[in-house]
Structure 1
Amino acid sequence: MEVLQPVKEQKANRVINVLAIAIPVAVAVLLGIRQKVDLGNWTSYLPHINGVINSVTSVLLLLGLYFIKQKDIQAHKLTMLTAFTLGSLFLVSYVLYHLTNDSTPYGGQGWIRPVYYFLLISHIVLSVVVVWFVLRAVYFALSGQILKHKQTVKYAYPIWLYVSITGVIVYLMIKPYYLH
């Protein structure tokens, strides 16, 4: 894979900062739309697809760590870019589901209910935070700024892994309450 030529740091930071704000704001606005769009029953399967995407992303993140510890840069790069691509697909699928379907209420009772909401809220908050870190990590890697990439990944990786794994756990916890 060819390394991108570094662009002006200020311009790259501006683009990353705008995206890191625009993506969560756009998702929040789209999720706030109460009038649902009817695209057919197939959209009711999107949460299950999202569960698979998050599961695969979690595995890819762990493989990416393994490959970099083995000093297999090409495998690491391919694995991490695949995880990034899956994260982008997840985002599209998540928004599409919520534009077309009402949110599913969690039906669990007792001690598991606060556990579910703790995981859900921490997952949502950190999924907003991680966008900025992941965009920076990808930019630094693709522009050949490996030291800055490593410094960013120190924070991006554990947050991204947490968001990915808790996405799977939250999905498994709410899965029994989906209508389809």
Structure 2
Amino acid sequence: MSEQVALREKRFNRWIAVVSVVIPLVVALLFGYKIPDAEPLSFLPPIYAGINGITAILLVWAVVSIKNGKRELHQKLMTTCIVLSALFLVMYVAYHMTSESTKFGGDGFVQYIYFFILITHIALSILVIPLVLITYSKAYLGDYAKHRKWAKFTFPIWLYVAVTGVVVYLMISPYYVH
């Protein structure tokens, strides 16, 4: 590895570390803040759940594309997934800054399933931030061997987060107050 590439990778790693800490902290802070007298953005949950669904489909399509040697398509799909994930996050925070959190109304075994999915979804959504950024940076820097190694861990976690985002929405949607 050349000195210039090593320097670029070091810079990327610093930014990845900062972003990976700042995003969850900012989301947690904004999640607890309500905009006074704001109109609830109650139309957003099905939209951002749909974005999660589209992200899941595009993630699978991207893997199929790269396995078929379509690197440019793979790159475009993965970049789109990152943009969609950022868009999801903005909508999610906007919704929670204008609306009260919805409580899950189910009980019994279904409630345990819901909370298991929700907790793993949230925990892995925090973990996936640095994984996605590291994996993406490896490809950006042209280190495709390391990109592939990181992608083997990143892909299933990101896919789980995207799919469970839809599942959480479907499970809680009957309890939304409109």
Please give the range of the TM-score, normalised by the shorter of the 2 chains.
over 0.9
Q: Check the 8 A contact 1:126/1:163 in 2, yes or no.
A: yes
Encode CA deviations 1:102-146: one digit per residue, 9 max, x unaligned: 100000112100000000000000000000000111112222221
Q: Check the 8 A contact 2:134/2:150 in 1, yes or no.
A: yes
TM alignment of 1:1-180, pairs within 5 A? 6=5, 8-33=8-33, 35-41=34-40, 43-180=41-178
Q: Note the C-alpha offset of 1:78.
A: 1.0
CA RMSD of aligned residues (A): 1.4
TM-score (norm 2): 0.93
Aligned partner letter, 2:106: G
Q: Note the C-alpha offset of 1:155.
A: 1.1
Go from structure 1 to structure 2 and tell me whether the alpha carbon gap of 1:111 and 1:80 turns closer, same or farther (over 3 Å shift).
Answer: same
Give runs of ≥4 in structure 1 deviating > 6 Å: none
Encode CA deviations 1:135-166: one digit per residue, 9 max, x unaligned: 11111222222112112111111110000001
Q: Note the C-alpha offset of 1:168.
A: 0.5
Counterparts of 1:170 and 1:38 in 2: how far apart (Å)?
28
Counterparts of 2:38 and 2:144 in 1: how far apart (Å)?
44
Q: Check the 8 A contact 1:37/1:99 in 2, yes or no.
A: no
Q: Secondary structure at the match of 1:179?
A: coil
Q: Secondary structure at the match of 1:105?
A: coil
Counterparts of 1:30 and 1:106 in 2: how far apart (Å)?
21
TM-score (norm 1): 0.92
Encode CA deviations 1:59-111: one digit per residue, 9 max, x unaligned: 00110111111111111111111111100100100111111111000001121
Aligned partner letter, 1:88: A
Q: How many residues align?
A: 174
Q: Check the 8 A contact 1:60/1:80 in 2, yes or no.
A: yes
Query: What is the identity percentage for the equivalent residue pairs of Structure 1 and Structure 2?
Result: 44
Encode CA deviations 1:12-48: one digit per residue, 9 max, x unaligned: 1011001001101111111122x3344424x111111
Aligned partner letter, 1:58: A
Q: Which runs of 5+ in 2 are unaligned?
A: none
Q: Note the C-alpha offset of 1:52.
A: 0.6
Counterparts of 1:69 and 1:37 in 2: how far apart (Å)?
50
